[in-house]
Amino acid sequence: MKMTIYKSLEQRKKQGVKSFAVLIDPDKINTPLLDELIELSLTARVDYFLVGGSLVISNHLDECVQHIKKSCTIPVILFPGSPSQISKYADGLLYLSLISGRNPELLIGQHVVSAPFVKQSGLEILSTGYMVIDGGAPTTVSYISNASPVPADKNEIAMCTALAGEMLGMKLIYMDAGSGAKRPITESMIKIVADHIEVPLIVGGGIANPEKAYLNCKAGADVIVVGNAIEKDESLIKEMSDAVHSVPI
Ligand code: 1GP
């Protein structure tokens, strides 16, 4: 039987194996570019594709996911900016609750409205405590979510938020400085969060070089997500993936 995404994440965490995920925004990609990205990702042994964005304006989502699925076996996980960003062709869905914010719509409201539709999709649901951390610039996610991020130097707030999310039953914690963040999340914040939770920890936002990806993993991140830096320089896929996979077990 095929191992579920969550089982594999749990197993990798237990073994200390780190994962590298490439974020694809369906609005920013066309078929030739996607083909190139898939090719590079296969060579680089990328572990997951995350597909989504805070705003998906076009309706390319299904097309984009189907194209990836027919080209390779790298699992596709949806990272939706809104409940409309669901594609049944993906493997899993980060079912995000914005636990760092105090906007009831993004904590539970939108989930209630879309629950039957999400259930029907047949996707593997990965309940995720989503934490936006201040990355030094107002990002789309902080504007759209109408919720203030955790201040970048308030490590204890981040730790308590993640801990509460885990105790509420969330299966993953995702700390995000926002796409294109000027300042990525500090290693000290990642470390204190990682030290206090048992579920896999995803970290993303503004990770611009392989060194930072490596240091984040050393600090305790289990999955590193990179979008922007790769859009600018695709050769970083291999360097980043190698850095993440070189963290000693
Ligand atoms: C954003 O964590 C992701 O939600 C990735 O951010 O695009 O800055 O790599 P970047």
Q: In this model, does residue 146 exceed pLDDT 90?
A: no
**Per-residue confidence band for 81, with pLDDT thresholds at 50, 70 and 90:** confident
Measured by CA distance, the residue closest to atom 1 of ligand 1 is: 179
State pLDDT tens for residues 153-173.
Answer: 999 999 999 999 999 999 999
The CA 135 to ligand 1 mean position distance, Å, reads: 11
How confident is residue 175, by pLDDT bands cut at 50, 70 and 90? very high
- Prediction pTM value: 0.97
Ligand 1 neighbourhood includes 222 CB (under 6 angstroms):
no
Exposure pattern of 34-69 as b/e (b: 16+ CB <10 Å)?
Answer: beebbebbeebebbbbbbbbbebeeebbeebbebbb
Q: Residue 139 pLDDT more than 80?
A: no
- Per the listing, tokens 């994440």 go with 9
Q: What is the mean pLDDT of residues 189-199?
A: 98
Residue with the bigger pLDDT between 3 and 182: it is: 182
Question: Does ligand 1 lie within 6 Å of residue 206's CB atom?
Answer: yes
CA of 26 to the centre of ligand 1 (A): 14
- End-to-end alpha-carbon separation of the chain, Å? 27
Distance 224 CA to ligand 1 centre (A): 10
pLDDT band at 49; cut points 50, 70, 90 = very high
Torsion angles phi and psi, residue 200, rounded to 5: -60, 145
The residue count of the chain comes to 249
Output the CA 126–ligand 1 centroid distance in Å.
19
Chain mean pLDDT for the chain: 94
The response to whether residue 229 sits with its C-beta less than 6 Å from ligand 1 reads yes
- Find the 240 Cα to ligand 1 centroid distance in Å: 14
Mean pLDDT across 42-71: 90
Cβ–Cβ < 8 Å for 51, 86: no
pLDDT at site 140: 76
- The dihedral sign for the CA sequence 63, 67, 68, 70: positive
Q: Which is more confidently placed, 162 or 3? A: 162
**So what's the pLDDT on residue 192?**
98
80 close to ligand 1 (CB < 6 Angstrom): no
pLDDT in tens, 91-137: 999 999 999 999 999 999 999 999 999 999 999 999 999 999 999 98
Q: Is the CB of 149 under 6 A from ligand 1?
A: no
Task: Reduce the DSSP state of residue 188 to 3 states and report it.
Answer: helix
Q: How far apart are CA 112 and CA 170, in angstroms?
A: 16
Q: Per-residue pLDDT for 57 more than 70?
A: no
The DSSP call for residue 99 is: T
Class of CATH domain 5-242: alpha beta
The share of the chain scoring above pLDDT 70, in percent, equals 97
Query: How many CA atoms lie less than 13 Å away from 129 in the CB half-sphere?
Result: 23
Band (pLDDT 50/70/90 cuts) for residue 1 is low
Read off the tokens for 1.
């039987």
Probe ligand 1: pick from 46, 143, 226, 231, max atoms within 8 Å of CB? 226
